[in-house]
Amino acid sequence: MPIATPAASASLDEIELRVLQIPLVSPFTTSFGTETVREVIVVRVRTADGGDGWGEIVTQQAPLYSSEYTQGAWDVATRWLGPALLERGTLAPEDVARVLEPFVGHRMAKAGLELAVLDAALRSDGRSLASYLGATAKTIPSGVSVGIQADPAALVETVQGYLAEGYVRIKIKIRPGRDLADTAAVRSAFPGIPLQVDANSAYTLADADTLAQLDRFDLLLIEQPLQEDDIVDHAALAQRLRTPICLDESITSAKAARDALALGATTVINIKAGRVGGYLEAVRIHDLCRDAGIPVWCGGMLETGIGRAANAALAAMPGFTLPGDVSASDRFYARDIVASPVVLEDGHVRVPTGPGLGVEIDAEALESFTVARATLRR
Ligand code: SMG
Ligand code: MG
């Protein structure tokens, strides 16, 4: 269902961007590398009526997950995207994507700016993001994404810890050489748990025999086994596997989602607002999948309390029928930049109900993690 009642317009006076570096509670290893610090860009828009809006650009320091990365996003946001929005002056959140459309790509940067405008507009309307999106759930089931560990035994121990905390679904990262034994170890230690794997594009179609061996572990899905633009190869791989393929990196827009579904490259979709250019495009993907009977779930980009609150609202929409990667803040951070970080309650996360994102920024924490800032004015 498209957004029922559009938000009010916001009159933008200023856009403040900050690069933050926030230490992770433990290293996070994927097929493309290990992170120990989350580098992220936080956006604050200031409006003429004095209200603020907050957003988050979920790029990482290096272009390893996708082509976007911090300094590229910083450059395009400060030089092109931010000035284009300020030049417009007054605009509704629903206008942001259209104003930024001439600039090719840079979806994470666009998404962060759109979120800040959405937050400002909804705060001044006194509406929550969840109600604006048409979300129906009050709480959402919480899954956790577990990085590659030293060995399968260490992985089992780490998974055990998350299960003890109450997470209702486990996702483990895999890469060539760290796939079958890792998955087998987790499956045999916890026979009944909802389990899925994420390869972050680490394989090629030549690995189909190995990937087909994952079928015996009764996985919910295998996420993004092949490269971002390997849509036809994903469709060919799908023919070889019983395990459903779920695309992440490849789904960069609603159109990409439609194409991948039409080609049989994916039967489940991971929706991440940053990857697709914003929460409004994310809603379009939700809507098309719901109409097509395709299950979706909300992915994560190690968001701070800003993006995590927005993800909880998105994941509360009715088409999100699988648990997502919206975990508690403390899964990644000892200290977050919001006053009441997301917590896990009986395996679930509460959907914020306050105006806008429904979070208050912890100014002191924000300041302590800031390593660069810029202010753009009208
Ligand atoms: O936010 O819980 C989270 C992270 C979930 O695994 C996660 N994200 O490919 O799905 C994915 C990865 C992308 C980030 S990897 C550094
Ligand atoms: Mg993924």
CATH number of the domain encompassing residue 100: 3.30.390.10
Alpha helices, DSSP H, located in the chain: 70-76, 82-88, 93-100, 107-125, 129-133, 152-165, 180-189, 208-212, 231-240, 254-262, 273-276, 279-292, 305-315, 363-369
2 part of a folded domain:
no
356 part of a folded domain:
no
Please indicate, yes or no, whether residues 136 and 278 belong to a single structural domain of this protein: yes
Catalytic residues: 173, 272
Residue 297 in contact with residue 315, Cβ under 8 Å?
A: yes
Distance CA 228, CA 211 (A): 17
Taking the alpha carbons of 30, 32, 38, 42 in that order, is the dihedral positive or negative? negative
Please indicate, yes or no, whether residues 284 and 372 belong to a single structural domain of this protein: no
Considering every ligand atom, which ligand is closest to the CA of 37?
A: 1
* C-alpha 249 to ligand 2 mean position (Å): 7
User: Would you write out the chain's pLDDT as a tens digit for each of its 378 residues?
Assistant: 567 888 889 999 999 999 999 999 999 999 999 999 999 999 999 999 889 999 999 999 999 999 999 999 999 999 999 999 999 999 999 999 999 999 999 999 999 999 999 999 999 999 999 999 999 999 999 999 999 999 999 999 999 999 999 999 999 999 999 999 999 999 999 999 999 999 999 999 999 999 999 999 999 999 999 999 999 999 999 999 999 999 999 999 999 999 999 999 999 999 999 999 999 999 999 999 999 999 999 999 999 999 999 999 999 999 999 999 999 999 999 999 999 999 999 999 999 999 999 999 999 999 999 999 999 998
Considering every ligand atom, which ligand is closest to the CA of 332?
A: 1
Please indicate, yes or no, whether residues 119 and 145 belong to a single structural domain of this protein: no
Distance CA 150, CA 156 (A): 11
* C-alpha 329 to ligand 1 mean position (Å): 13
CATH number of the domain encompassing residue 301: 3.20.20.120
- Indicate which atom in ligand 1 lies nearest the CA of residue 326: 2
**Residues contacting residue 101 through CB under 8 Å, at least 6 positions apart:** none
295 part of a folded domain:
yes
Cα–Cα nearest to 43, from 2, 99, 81: 81
Residue 61 in contact with residue 38, Cβ under 8 Å?
A: no
3 part of a folded domain:
no
Cα–Cα nearest to 300, from 272, 269, 335: 272
Please indicate, yes or no, whether residues 291 and 342 belong to a single structural domain of this protein: yes
Distance CA 26, CA 20 (A): 18
Please indicate, yes or no, whether residues 167 and 97 belong to a single structural domain of this protein: no
Please indicate, yes or no, whether residues 234 and 302 belong to a single structural domain of this protein: yes
Helices (H) and strands (E) in the chain, counts: 14, 14
Please indicate, yes or no, whether residues 146 and 106 belong to a single structural domain of this protein: no
Q: Quote the pTM value.
A: 0.97
Number of domains the chain contains? 2
Please indicate, yes or no, whether residues 105 and 220 belong to a single structural domain of this protein: no
- Indicate which atom in ligand 1 lies nearest the CA of residue 300: 1
Please indicate, yes or no, whether residues 183 and 212 belong to a single structural domain of this protein: yes
288 part of a folded domain:
yes
Please indicate, yes or no, whether residues 329 and 371 belong to a single structural domain of this protein: no
225 part of a folded domain:
yes
Residue 206 tokens read as 């030549």
151 part of a folded domain:
yes
Please indicate, yes or no, whether residues 152 and 121 belong to a single structural domain of this protein: no
Q: Cα 51 to the chain's mean position, in Å?
A: 26
4 part of a folded domain:
no
Please indicate, yes or no, whether residues 156 and 288 belong to a single structural domain of this protein: yes
Q: Which of 24, 58, 145 to mutate to test the pocket of ligand 1 (most atoms within 8 A of CB)?
A: 145
Give residues (CB < 6 A) around ligand 1.
Answer: 30, 35, 60, 65, 145, 198, 200, 248, 299-303, 325, 327
Domain that holds residue 334: 131-350
Given this model, what pLDDT does residue 1 score?
57
